[in-house]
Structure 1
């Protein structure tokens, strides 16, 4: 039986400081990402490839050509300059280089029909890349909102803080096998104006958008929660979402 190669999933890096440097300002910054994303991709049958934040378009395009799908992970707030808004006083510290690179990778993937799974910051980046906007700080901009940082406040990334309602005619509902779920929540920003190329497929009880998908048939799913912390601990149904993503990317592997 011929061996089926694992599809390669590109995961843009975050910027950090090596732990052994004790945050010394003279020590070079490092690129990486949270291991939970990589483990979820591996378990689903994919091979994660970290993409460093290079400003060299030739290098970035070469890396992009090697991948079969893109996972947009969580991270820092997106610079509101990306969607033409002034900075809110509660905005975190954005990384314009990461924003620009992820927007470029996202647009390339959508242009070429490569599957995209967008998580937390990722769903926000996906929306911005397609022309949408964000709430920069839910507590101060959305009256009556739930505490969408409750899992953070509890210092438990697996804490299931609130329910979401999932549209029955969505890819997410098909993969998840349900139209309701309890999710973790670790964010203070959220989608505001949804890009025309996306449709809302899940919401929290306060109306905050919890999932989107492309209006076209391509495999594009964004979720506001962190399923990479849930699939092998609190709710194994999220493993189906990673599997569906990797399987779609596998359809693009050259044999």
Structure 2
């Protein structure tokens, strides 16, 4: 049976007088479908019991990209350059990440999702790369060029990492649409990928099971831009399928 993949989403507010809408870009669900999974969007909600019931129905969790995490969740005051936050989304994604990590359910974090994994496990973030890290590398160049498939820089991978084995290389090009990054890495995680300036851009769990976070947006690359990124989604979905019930 194809596994059910729960994908977190954000709240979209198009008008002040309208109720917020659940928002997720289509290429996330496209990537999961291409990899053989059944995507189900986890809505923004306030009831933790409903969230847990949804989580229990899923065979794997994908935490998607989005805005900044409220720094109170990693015990820091707001710094200059912090962007808009959505504490309600934080309150959904942090428990999802913790449950999956504690129970060994496959977990994939993309961009913000990678940061959520780190914060959920006790790590911290650079709230704004330009103001907190001395670097000449522009980490949001795919965003400023308005091109999700723009290959902004190389991602150097640990040779023994899962990602290097999946891609068959220690170096792969990535897009880049972020202004925050991982700072103090949480216990139980290991850095396995770096931007040319040393910023950590890929993490994996130190134990068994599928626990991967990437700072780039592979869901936008795995189509025509670079099909090698499909391997990440295939491995994730196959890991989820191991726990899926048989018909």
TM over 0.5: yes
From 194, 203, 206, the equivalent of 2:197 is 206
CA distance in 2, matches of 1:209, 1:100: 24
From 21, 38, 49, the equivalent of 1:30 is 21
CA distance in 1, matches of 2:55, 2:125: 27
CA contact (8 A) 1:109 1:116 kept: yes
| Farther off after superposition, 191-200 or 46-55 | 46-55
Tell me by how many angstroms 1:240 deviates: 0.5
- 1:92 matches 2:83: yes
5+ residue gaps, structure 1? 18-22
CA distance in 2, matches of 1:236, 1:166: 18
What corresponds to 2:150 in structure 1? Answer: 159
CA distance in 2, matches of 1:210, 1:30: 30
CA contact (8 A) 1:138 1:145 kept: no
From 206, 209, 233, the equivalent of 2:224 is 233
- 1:50 matches 2:41: yes
What corresponds to 1:73 in structure 2? Answer: 64
What corresponds to 1:11 in structure 2? Answer: 7
TM-score (norm 1): 0.95
What corresponds to 2:117 in structure 1? Answer: 126
From 95, 107, 122, the equivalent of 1:104 is 95
CA distance in 2, matches of 1:89, 1:164: 27
CA distance in 1, matches of 2:182, 2:45: 27
What are the Cα deviations for residues 92-112 of structure 1, in whole angstroms up to 9, with x where unaligned? 111111111100011111111
CA distance in 1, matches of 2:238, 2:78: 39
Tell me by how many angstroms 1:196 deviates: 1.1
What corresponds to 2:243 in structure 1? Answer: 252
Number of aligned pairs?
A: 246
CA distance in 2, matches of 1:24, 1:127: 33
5+ residue gaps, structure 2? none
CA distance in 1, matches of 2:220, 2:48: 32
CA contact (8 A) 2:80 2:131 kept: no
What are the Cα deviations for residues 47-75 of structure 1, in whole angstroms up to 9, with x where unaligned? 11111122212211110111000001100
What corresponds to 2:74 in structure 1? Answer: 83
The DSSP-based 3-state class of the residue aligned with 2:139 is coil
What corresponds to 1:144 in structure 2? Answer: 135
CA distance in 1, matches of 2:136, 2:214: 18
Tell me by how many angstroms 1:220 deviates: 0.4
- 1:180 matches 2:171: yes
Cα 1:247–1:216 change in 2 (3 A) is same
TM-score (norm 2): 0.98
